[in-house]
Chains A and B, each alone.
Chain A
C-alpha cells in the first residue's frame, strides 16, 4: 500500500486478514502462506507479534510446535520468525478498531500514521484471552495502585523490568496464578498468601507444590471482599468458609485467572457471542455467525495452552483455505448448548452437515465448578453420546463431533452432566 492511497482514503484489498499475532494467528498465517495464499496480512497491535507468550518468561512452550522446550519469549520470537520466513506480511502497531459485515468485510484500523481501512474476502480473528479485571469481579474497596492481573505483572517484569509491589496477595489458584508466583520470584517479590474461592486448588498437581515450597499459605473457600489503602494497597479483607472476615497486610493484589475471551471487536461488530464462554459462536470450521469471519485460538474460549491455540490456528486456516478455493461449507443447521449449573459452555456450538473436512473433530466444554458424573449429549430424548467426567473448572473436556451429526438438520443438542451417575 502506498502513502498516497492512504491519504486518498482508498481501501486496500486483500484475500485474508488475520487479526492478532499470537500463537493462533501466527500459525494460521504461516499455514495459509505455505498453501500459496500470498494476499494475506496479519494485523497485530503490539510492537511485536507473539501474543501472550512474549511476557511468559517461564517454560514450557514449544513442545507441540517445535519439539523443543522453550521459554515464552523465545517461543514467541520463533513463531513470528517462521511466519515471516513463510512470507507473511506482519503489520505490527496496527490495531483493528471495527469489523464491518460480510460478504466483503471492511476493517477499520489505526496505526501511528492514523486511521486506515482494509477490505478482505475472509477475516480470521485470533485476539486471544485476558484475565477478568477486578472491577468485573466486583471486588470492592478503593481504587488504589497495586492491583494488577498476572498479564500486567508479567509484562511489567519481563518486558519492562518494573516491579509494582513486594508482598502481594494472589487471588486464584489456576495455572496462571502459579505462574504469577514464578514471576514474583523472578523479580524478588514475596507473595504473602494465595486465595481461592473454590473448595480445591484449580490447577493440576505439579504446580500445587509451589506455595508450600515458597512458604505461601493457601486459603480455600475464601474470597477477597475488599482491598484497602489510600494511594497504594495496604491490605485486603478476606471472607473465609464460615463467613469470618479477616484482614491481611500486603502491598499489592494479583487478580489472576478467570479468563475471558478478548471478544470485544466481535461483540461490538454485532456477531453472535456465546453467553457461557464469552467467545464468538462458531461451527466446526471455526466460522462465525457472519460466514466471512473465522476465529481460532483462545478467543474461542477460556482457556487453552499456547500449543493448543497454535494447532487451532492451523486447522482453522485449512478450513478457511478450502472455503476460498472451493466455496464455503453449508450453513450450520445444528445448535449445541449446555444445561444445568455444572457446565459453562460448549464450543463449537453450531454444526453444519455434509461439508468438507472440519477444523474441529471434537467440541470443547468446561465445567463451572468441581463436578463428576456422566456427561450426555441429547437431541430431544435421543442420546447421541455419553462420557464419564471428573473435572475442575479449568480442565479441558472434549466430546467427538461425529456422533453428534447423527442428530440431523435442525437438531438442538443439549449437553448435561448427570452428577453422581457413572454409567449409561
Chain B
C-alpha cells in the first residue's frame, strides 16, 4: 500500500507540484524567502521522474544558446551551487571537461564553440592541442585532433543535491506530501484548491514543476498548455570503479546541431559512465534499457577510451528528458491566476535548478506580496555519498557494512529510513545511500537489506509471508 502524507491544515502560500530537482530547489527557495510551502509529489518518493537518471554534470552552460533563459538559469544555478555546497555538505569533483574533435569537420566547429562559450561568460574555456589532451586524458584514443577545455564543468552528486534542497526546505518548515498526485484544481480568485490522491490542498499560488507531466498539469489546472512534452530517453552504462584509473574527467564529443552526444565521464560515486542516448518516445514513464543500445554504448566508450572495453559493467540505467517542441525552457506566468510553470527543463535541470528557483521567485514577486526571508535558516547536511570525500564507513559506530560493493553502513541505511524525508522505496533508499548500486547489484546484500527494510518500502523487497520452513 502506497504511503500518503496528509495535507497541511491551513492554506499555504505556495503549492509546488512535483519533487524533481526543480521542485526541490523551488521549495527550498520559497521556504528560505519566508513563504509557507507545500510540495505535492505523485510518487512514493522524491526524484522519481526525470531527475532519477542523469549524467550528474554541473554544467557551466558554455554551449547553451546565447541569451537564452536556459543559459541564464544555468549560470545562476551554478553560482548558487558553489556558494551553498559547503554548508549543505554537497560534493564537487573538480574534473573539467574536454570537448573533443575527432574529425576535421568537428575541429572546424571548435572556434565557433569557443566563441559561444565566451559569449556565455565561460571565459576560461580554451583550445588544447594533441599533447595537452594526452596529458589530461592519457587513456584517450588516438585520433583526437583538438579539444576545448572547459575547466569548470564539474561532476556532482545528482541525488544528494536535490535531496539536500528538499531537506533544507523541510527543516525550515515546508510541508511535503508524497503519494499525492495532483488530479484536479481550481482557482477561486483568492486561493487555489488542488485535489490530490492524498486530499485537497489550499494555496495562494501554484508552481508547476511536474517535469515529464508539466504540460498535463497546465492542461488540468489552466485548461490549456503552451507546450507538449516529447520524452527523450537517455540510456547509460556504468563501468566499475577500477575504470576511474582510465578517465580523469568529463569527455564530451563536439556537439552537433541536434545533440550534445555521448559523454564518457566520472561519477560522484566513483564510477565511469558512458551515455546518454537521445531516443524520442511516447511513454513518459518507461525508462527501459535495451541490449543493443547498451552494447552500442560500450562500443562507443571503447572508441573514446579503448581500455574501457575490458572493464566490467556495474550497472545500466535510463533517464527521460522532459523535452518539448522547443529547445529552451517553457516558462509560463499566469499572474491573474497566480500560477507559474517551469516546464520542458530538458537536459540541464540539475545545473539550472537553483537558478530556475530564483527565476520563479522573481516571477512570483511580480504578482504577489513579498515575504520576509528567514533570518537564520537551518542548514542540514546532505548524505555523504561521494566516493572522493570521507564516508561513514571510516567512522566509529557505523553499525558495520551492509552493502559491500558501495561500502554503505547500517547506520546510513537506518538514517535514510527515518526522519521527514525517510526513503519509502528501494529507489529512494538507493538515492540516499547507494545501496545495491555496485558491481554485484544486490548479490551479497539483498537479504540483509530485505530484512532491515521489511515493512518500510513500497514495493517491498520480499513478500509479506515468510518462507515455509
User: Is the pairing of A and B real?
Assistant: yes
Q: Which residues of A contact B238 (CB under 8 A)?
A: 135
Q: CA A226 – CA B286 in complex, angstroms?
A: 13
Which positions 57-93 of chain B face chain A at CB distance < 8 Å?
A: none
Asked if B327 is an interface residue, CB under 8 A from chain A, the answer is: no
Which positions 243-261 of chain A face chain B at CB distance < 8 Å?
A: 260
Interface size class of B (residues with CB under 8 A): 35 or more
Q: Is the CB of A156 within 8 A of B288?
A: no
Which positions 443-469 of chain B face chain A at CB distance < 8 Å?
A: 443-444, 446-448, 450-451, 454, 458-463, 465-469
**A-B contact count, CB below 8 Å?**
161
Q: Which of A111, A113, A225 contacts B291 (CB 8 A)?
A: A225
Q: Which residues of B contact A111 (CB under 8 A)?
A: 400
Q: Is the CB of A97 within 8 A of B407?
A: yes
Residue of B nearest to A264 (CB): B439
Asked if B241 is an interface residue, CB under 8 A from chain A, the answer is: yes
Q: Which residues of B contact A55 (CB under 8 A)?
A: 447
Q: Is the CB of B316 within 8 A of A138?
A: yes
Asked if B279 is an interface residue, CB under 8 A from chain A, the answer is: no
Asked if B184 is an interface residue, CB under 8 A from chain A, the answer is: no
Q: Is the CB of A260 within 8 A of B312?
A: yes
Asked if B240 is an interface residue, CB under 8 A from chain A, the answer is: yes
Residue of A nearest to B458 (CB): A231
Residue of B nearest to A183 (CB): B467
Asked if B257 is an interface residue, CB under 8 A from chain A, the answer is: no
Which positions 307-344 of chain B face chain A at CB distance < 8 Å?
A: 310, 312-317
* With A112-B399, A225-B291: A162-B312 Cβ-Cβ less than 8 Å: no
* With A95-B404, A156-B447: A110-B317 Cβ-Cβ less than 8 Å: no
* With A97-B407, A115-B393: A136-B314 Cβ-Cβ less than 8 Å: yes
Asked if A181 is an interface residue, CB under 8 A from chain B, the answer is: no
Q: Is the CB of B467 within 8 A of A114?
A: no
Q: CA A395 – CA B442 in complex, angstroms?
A: 27
List 27 A-B pairs, Cβ < 8 Å: A45-B404, A93-B401, A97-B393, A110-B394, A110-B398, A110-B407, A112-B399, A113-B397, A114-B393, A114-B394, A114-B395, A114-B397, A130-B440, A130-B443, A133-B315, A136-B313, A136-B441, A149-B442, A160-B450, A162-B450, A162-B463, A162-B466, A164-B446, A187-B467, A187-B468, A188-B467, A264-B405
Q: Which residues of A contact B404 (CB under 8 A)?
A: 45, 95
Q: Is the CB of A275 within 8 A of B310?
A: yes
* With A45-B404, A114-B394, A164-B450: A264-B242 Cβ-Cβ less than 8 Å: yes
Q: Which residues of A contact B140 (CB under 8 A)?
A: none
* With A141-B288, A141-B289: A131-B443 Cβ-Cβ less than 8 Å: yes
Q: CA A278 – CA B394 in complex, angstroms?
A: 29
Q: Is the CB of A163 within 8 A of B313?
A: no
Chain A min CB distance to B28 (Å) = 28
Q: Which residues of B contact A133 (CB under 8 A)?
A: 314-315, 439-443
Asked if A142 is an interface residue, CB under 8 A from chain B, the answer is: yes
Q: CA A270 – CA B401 in complex, angstroms?
A: 24
Q: Is the CB of B442 within 8 A of A161?
A: no
Chain A min CB distance to B447 (Å) = 3
Q: CA A111 – CA B392 in complex, angstroms?
A: 11
Q: Is the CB of B398 within 8 A of A162?
A: no
Asked if B290 is an interface residue, CB under 8 A from chain A, the answer is: yes
Q: Which residues of B contact A231 (CB under 8 A)?
A: 458-459
Residue of A nearest to B468 (CB): A188
| Interface residues as binary, B211-251 with A (CB distance below 8 Å gives 1, 0 otherwise) | 00000000000000000000000000010111001000000
Q: Is the CB of B400 within 8 A of A112?
A: yes
Residue of B nearest to A225 (CB): B291
| Interface residues as binary, A336-372 with B (CB distance below 8 Å gives 1, 0 otherwise) | 0000000000000000000000000000000000000
Residue of B nearest to A6 (CB): B396
Q: Which residues of A contact B460 (CB under 8 A)?
A: 145
Q: Which residues of B contact A112 (CB under 8 A)?
A: 397-400
Asked if B134 is an interface residue, CB under 8 A from chain A, the answer is: no
Q: Is the CB of B459 within 8 A of A145?
A: yes
Which positions 104-120 of chain B face chain A at CB distance < 8 Å?
A: none
**Chain A count of residues within 8 A CB distance of the other chain:** 55
| Interface residues as binary, B404-421 with A (CB distance below 8 Å gives 1, 0 otherwise) | 110100000000000000
Q: CA A255 – CA B412 in complex, angstroms?
A: 28
Which positions 263-280 of chain A face chain B at CB distance < 8 Å?
A: 264, 267-268, 270, 275, 278
Chain B min CB distance to A151 (Å) = 5
* With A97-B407, A264-B241, A268-B241: A157-B467 Cβ-Cβ less than 8 Å: yes
Asked if A85 is an interface residue, CB under 8 A from chain B, the answer is: no
Asked if B295 is an interface residue, CB under 8 A from chain A, the answer is: yes
Chain B min CB distance to A8 (Å) = 14
Q: Is the CB of A152 within 8 A of B443?
A: yes
Asked if A10 is an interface residue, CB under 8 A from chain B, the answer is: no
Q: Is the CB of A163 within 8 A of B289?
A: no
Q: CA A204 – CA B450 in complex, angstroms?
A: 33
Asked if A100 is an interface residue, CB under 8 A from chain B, the answer is: no
Residue of B nearest to A110 (CB): B393
Asked if A104 is an interface residue, CB under 8 A from chain B, the answer is: no
Asked if A310 is an interface residue, CB under 8 A from chain B, the answer is: no
Q: Is the CB of B407 within 8 A of A95?
A: yes
Q: Which residues of A contact B38 (CB under 8 A)?
A: none
Chain B min CB distance to A258 (Å) = 12
Q: CA A238 – CA B315 in complex, angstroms?
A: 21
Residue of A nearest to B313 (CB): A136
Q: CA A152 – CA B447 in complex, angstroms?
A: 6
Residue of A nearest to B297 (CB): A138
Q: Is the CB of B441 within 8 A of A134?
A: yes
Q: Is the CB of B401 within 8 A of A140?
A: no
Chain B min CB distance to A96 (Å) = 10
Which positions 330-371 of chain B face chain A at CB distance < 8 Å?
A: none
Q: Which residues of B contact A270 (CB under 8 A)?
A: 245
Q: Which of B287, B446, B454 contacts A148 (CB 8 A)?
A: B446
Asked if A69 is an interface residue, CB under 8 A from chain B, the answer is: no
Asked if B426 is an interface residue, CB under 8 A from chain A, the answer is: yes
* With A136-B313, A162-B450: A151-B444 Cβ-Cβ less than 8 Å: yes
